[in-house]
Chain A
Amino acid sequence: MLKINKNLLLILAKKIMLKFNNIELTQLIKEVNFILKQINFIKNINTNNIKYNFYHRFYLQFNCLHNDDNFKIELQQNILSNAPKIKNGYIIINNKGIK
């Protein structure tokens, strides 16, 4: 049976860059284990001789060359409106300590 414990949850949280307090961890373990119990069902299904074989059309991607003559003009200010601020080639990040 699939199951998650506090240690594994902390490992996974670190991998996906999230943090949880103890109350959240307790609740999360309960809820995630309920879902894993549902997911466990897939283990009952016989998939012998089934190849994960790019069957689905999602994997039938095509590659193409973009037409270089099709261009549009955009103001630099607009393009950079969401970009992080840069100083001396470095991205500026807030460094005020954790709030």
Chain B
Amino acid sequence: MKNYSIWELHNLLLKKIIKPSDIIKNTILKLKKNSHLNAAITIIEEKALKQAKYLDNITIPNNNYVFGIPYFAKDNFVTKDILTTASSKILSNFIPNYNAKVINDLSEKMMILLGKSTLDELSMGGHGIYAHTGIVLNPWDNSRIIGGSSSGSAALVASGVVPFALGSDTGDSIRKPASYAGIIGIKPTYGLISRYGLIPYAPSLDTVGYFTTNIKDTAIILDILAKKDINDSTSMTTNEQNYYDNLTKNIKKLKFVYIKEIQNQIPNPLKMRFQKLFSQLEQLGIFIKSITFSEELLKSLLSVYMTISYAEAVSSHSNLNGINFGLQCDGKNYQEIMINSRTKGFGDIVKKRYIIGAYVLYSKNQKSLFLKAQKIRCLIIKKLTKILNKYDILLLPASINIAPTIEYIKQNKSQIENIDNYIDNVLLLANLVGNPSITISFMLINNLPIGINLNSKLFSEQKLLNASYFLEELIGFKYLNNNKY
């Protein structure tokens, strides 16, 4: 069986060419074939097959496009009676007794959870090499990173194992891997999808999102997940509904813009590809214009992100102490147990971020660093909101190059978190502002994918999906993964 999209699998099920159990059996085979990627932490083979066999005898409800379709969830979504580790040693024995809201929503639609996918420990890292279970490999080239933190989910969709996987995006954790993997990665508006049951990293930035192989599937999933949840105090309602039904390539009225300061710094051949796209849009009579953005604010993105997210992380994870749940180490008293459990339970990257978070929150630094970063965040929000209110779609590079090699990342760890490379950090804009943002495939360099990123104003997902639907066809890289696997 080839690697089908949600939409294609749905049609095959409708025509009774295949049954849900056929899909699951085939997916398990593909999963085993791709086990070297190290993308799955837990596989729920038996239960998934049992569910699928039950669905074999049920009539597909009207307009339920995801009936019997398997998926993976990033291992930072809690799942009832299923190991949930967040790829951290400190949660390596944690079995929750409830489901995240999104897991329940997908289950109600009779999607089949086939397993939990690897991530950078507690969603911190960005390269897909910091899980307690090891490095996740890029299916396009196993010597390269897939990016992170939603590394396993990206690898499983890119390798065609599943047509959809859940992820979370705090600082480009879905949209950057999507670029390196040649797939779609969406981070909707902050508050559109419930975060209930998502193990937090930085709650003011954490957003639930996902990977698919095409925009139709992206819209289908958003129709299921975009709903207000009383259990998430930041969850909000939107006036938009029926994303899939309202999907259209008729986007002639949309105004596209790109940022001059960023465009000037993009290296070739990516820059030339962008210029070609701008010309194509112009020729089609679509509004495309360059705008300016404060370079100082662009340079501050990484610093602001690090200041806020690391501070929130050290606070959010104070409950990971070996007493209430998770890994517990020996000690003479409860303080020693906590210290020993945390010291043994967390990896180096996480500890480093906690130290910086504690430094930022240190009483004498709170005003000059933490509050200062929050004020700059206000400036960034104001600036970008003004642009997105005036224009419809902001185009950005999803990454400035193809996926780096694992060796390169290991050797240049310290140089990577550098504000001088700010054009590789521009996806942080959408995390700090909260607007929807999506990465779709854009080009191949040395036969490896690289994406383009689209942004729109808060709660304008329909506009974003329509623009992406149009560009997906114009660019011509739909189902990119299927060409290779």
Please report A residues at the B interface, Cβ cutoff 8 Å: 2, 4, 8-9, 12-13, 15-20, 28, 30-32, 34-36, 38-45, 47, 50-53, 55-58, 61-64, 66, 74, 78-79, 81-84, 91, 93-99
Report chain A residues within 8 Å CB of B374: 52
Write the chain A residue with the least CB distance to B96. Answer: A82
Report chain B residues within 8 Å CB of A44: 296
**Is B200's beta carbon under 8 Å from chain A?**
no
Contact B372 A38 (CB under 8 A): no
Complex A-B, nearest 6 residue pairs according to Cβ-Cβ distance, in ascending order: A47-B375, A82-B325, A12-B358, A58-B204, A50-B375, A61-B233
**Is B343's beta carbon under 8 Å from chain A?**
yes
Contact B378 A50 (CB under 8 A): yes
Contact A17 B335 (CB under 8 A): yes
User: Could you tell me the distance in whole angstroms from the C-beta of B79 to the nearest C-beta in chain A?
Assistant: 13
User: Could you tell me the distance in whole angstroms from the C-beta of A62 to the nearest C-beta in chain B?
Assistant: 6
In this complex, the member of A20, A56, A99 whose beta carbon has the largest number of chain B beta carbons within 10 angstroms is A56
Contact B379 A47 (CB under 8 A): yes
Contact A42 B372 (CB under 8 A): yes
Cβ contact of A12, chosen from B297, B318, B355, B413, cutoff 8 A:
B355
**Is B306's beta carbon under 8 Å from chain A?**
yes
- Considering only CB atoms and an 8 Å cut-off, how many residues of chain B contact the other chain? 73
Report chain B residues within 8 Å CB of A2: 359, 369
Cβ contact of B355, chosen from A28, A56, A57, A78, cutoff 8 A:
A28
Report chain B residues within 8 Å CB of A32: 352, 355-356, 359
Q: How many Cβ-Cβ contacts under 8 Å join chain A to chain B? A: 169
Cβ contact of B378, chosen from A38, A52, A81, cutoff 8 A:
A52
A9 CA / B359 CA spacing, docked (Å): 9
Contact A47 B340 (CB under 8 A): no
Report chain A residues within 8 Å CB of B351: 18, 20, 28
Write the chain B residue with the least CB distance to A65. Answer: B230
Please report B residues at the A interface, Cβ cutoff 8 Å: 81, 94-97, 190-191, 203-204, 230, 233-234, 236, 296-297, 299-300, 302-304, 306-307, 314, 318, 321, 323-325, 328-332, 334-340, 342-343, 346, 351-352, 354-360, 362, 368-369, 371-379, 381-382, 413-414, 417-419, 434, 458
In this complex, the member of A43, A63, A94 whose beta carbon has the largest number of chain B beta carbons within 10 angstroms is A94
Cβ contact of A41, chosen from B234, B236, B356, B419, cutoff 8 A:
B419
Tell me what chain B mostly uses at the interface: helix, strand, loop, or mixed. Answer: helix
User: Could you tell me the distance in whole angstroms from the C-beta of B144 to the nearest C-beta in chain A?
Assistant: 24
Contact A57 B378 (CB under 8 A): no
Write the chain A residue with the least CB distance to B336. Answer: A98
> Can you give 10 A-B contacts (C-beta < 8 A)?
A2-B369, A12-B359, A18-B354, A19-B339, A31-B414, A38-B302, A55-B378, A84-B324, A95-B330, A98-B331
Report chain A residues within 8 Å CB of B369: 2, 39, 42
Contact A81 B95 (CB under 8 A): yes
Write the chain B residue with the least CB distance to A19. Answer: B343
Contact A58 B203 (CB under 8 A): yes
A57 CA / B190 CA spacing, docked (Å): 8
A20 CA / B348 CA spacing, docked (Å): 10
A84-B233 CB under 8 A given contacts A4-B359, A28-B355, A50-B375: no
A38-B355 CB under 8 A given contacts A84-B324, A94-B328: no
User: Could you tell me the distance in whole angstroms from the C-beta of A64 to the nearest C-beta in chain B?
Assistant: 6
A17-B204 CB under 8 A given contacts A47-B372, A56-B378: no
Contact B321 A35 (CB under 8 A): no
Report chain B residues within 8 Å CB of A94: 328-331, 337
